[in-house]
Amino acid sequence: MPETLVVQAEMAELERVREWADAIGERLGLPQSTLFAIHLCLEEAVSNIVRHGFVPRHDEAPPNKDVRLALAREDGVITATIEDHGVAFDPLGVTAPAGPATLDDATVGGLGISLMRQFAQHLAYERRDGMNRLTLRFAPAEPAG
Amino acid sequence: MEMKIELLADGITKVNLEGRLDILGAQQIDLHFNVVVASHRRVIVDLEQVPFLASMGIRTLVIGAKTIKLKGGRMALLKPTPDVEKVLTGTGTDTVIPILHDLEAAISSVSG
């Protein structure tokens, strides 16, 4: 049975996301590295929604900024899903920036998606009923301690 | 996120960070960090007490390193945790900002 949390697409909500994931991680006895990966991917995914998911339109009703998060463990695999009502965006369709050759080449954009690809063992995206749904899976977690 | 400055010998500045370098952490230190990198040429950023690093934290570090480089200076990162180091290597940040696990090595890295 997944644990769920609904937040608003606002940076101030990231603290609630962190606390929620921390509590679940403690309850499940997740290894520190697994919890780190989950925290990282949730932060990058939600912050992308906040920064890019909504275009201000003064002639329309305020957008639905609910972001629904779920975490579940089945057969040792942790699955995280993030659903939002923002503009259609498939992070898997974005080309990850190449590693910088020099400091002058180093960019500060696009790293979030690159990090999600590296820290999650599986990513999937779908757009359905006006919602983005990003699914991430993390390697089987062994109990802590 | 807290930031403390330690002045070492030979004009080297050690920036000791403590806390999560996530979006909120980066916002908390950005102004102060930018002031430090704008006014110092040899900077070691101690990450030993930083349990978490996300892309906005990398942004703070990279922009800081670029600022220092423009003045002919150097920046190095000291003692990241294994998970934090994985973030740095995964983004190629380690290829442009040296990562050291020993203070003397970090001092050598930013000197000269």
Q: Is A85 helix (H, G, I), strand (E, B) or coil?
A: coil
Q: Is the model's pTM score more than 0.90? A: yes
pLDDT of residue A92: 87
Cα separations in angstroms, B79 against A21, A24, A52, B45, B46:
26, 29, 33, 9, 6
The pLDDT tens digits for B3-20 are: 999 999 999 999 999 999
Contact B95/A101, CB-based, under 8 Å?
yes
> Which among A34, A46, A53 is positioned nearest to A6, based on CA atoms?
A46
Nearest by CB: A39 against B52, B91, B97: B52
pLDDT of residue B61: 97
Contact A101/B23, CB-based, under 8 Å?
no
The alpha carbon of residue A94 is apart from the nearest alpha carbon of chain B, in Å, by 15
Q: What residues of B are in contact with residue A18 (Cβ under 8 Å)?
A: 22
Q: CA-to-CA distance for A87 and A85, rounded, in angstroms?
A: 7
Q: What residues of A are in contact with residue B91 (Cβ under 8 Å)?
A: 99, 111, 114-115
Q: What residues of B are in contact with residue A40 (Cβ under 8 Å)?
A: 52, 54, 87
Q: CA-to-CA distance for B33 and B25, rounded, in angstroms?
A: 12
| pLDDT at B112 > cutoff 80 | no
Nearest by CB: A103 against B52, B65, B82: B65
Number of separate domains in chain B: 1
Average pLDDT, chain B: 96
Half-sphere exposure (CA, 13 Å, Cβ side) for B53? 28
pLDDT of residue A109: 72
pLDDT of residue A73: 94
Contact B96/A11, CB-based, under 8 Å?
no
Domain A3-138 grouped into CATH 3.30.565.10: yes
Pull the structure tokens for residue B89: 């290597």
| pLDDT at B57 > cutoff 80 | yes
CATH code (residue B81)? 3.30.750.24
Per-position b or e across B65-104, b if 16+ CB within 10 A of its CB: bbbbbeeebbbbbbbbbebbbbbbebbbbbbbbbbbeeee
pLDDT of residue A93: 86
The pLDDT tens digits for B33-45 are: 999 999 999 999 9
**Nearest residue of B to residue A12 by CA position?**
B24
Q: What is the mean pLDDT of residues B16-27?
A: 96
pLDDT of residue A68: 97
The alpha carbon of residue B60 is apart from the nearest alpha carbon of chain A, in Å, by 9
Nearest by CB: B54 against A44, A100, A118: A44
Domain locations in chain A?
3-138
Successive 10-residue mean pLDDT values, chain A, 145 residues: 92 96 95 96 95 79 91 94 94 77 76 93 95 93 54
Pull the structure tokens for residue A86: 């923002």
pLDDT of residue A104: 78
Domain membership of residue B69 as a residue range: 2-110
pLDDT of residue A144: 52
